[in-house]
Amino acid sequence: MTMKTVSVRISEEEKRQLKKYGRLSDTLREGMKLYLNKKKSDELLCKLEKIQSESEIKTSIEEEVKLIQEDRER
């Protein structure tokens, strides 16, 4: 995987707070990964809600998440 450089401007206070959690680049990289994972999850939940609204089979999001977690544990 090729790594690209991204520049971001942050305040000194933000920089100080981020450095409390480790190297600045590692902290920002982890934060970006978390952000992207959340966005993907949000998209999947929207798709699930759409499918559920169009489907005759009615299950809740909580039930679907539970089924997925159970499947992953196998």
Cα–Cα nearest to 47, from 39, 32, 36: 39
pLDDT of 16 over the 80 cut: yes
Q: How far apart are CA 24 and CA 9, in angstroms?
A: 13
Q: In the structure encoding, which two tokens stand for residue 70, read together? A: 């159970």
Q: Are 45 and 61 in contact (CB under 8 A)?
A: yes
pLDDT of 59 over the 80 cut: no
Domain edges within the chain: 12-73
pTM above 0.85, yes or no: no
pLDDT of 58 over the 90 cut: no
Q: Give 58's contacts (C-beta < 8 A, 6+ positions apart).
A: 52
What does the pLDDT read at residue 60?
A: 77
pLDDT of 14 over the 80 cut: yes
More confident residue, 67 or 23: 23
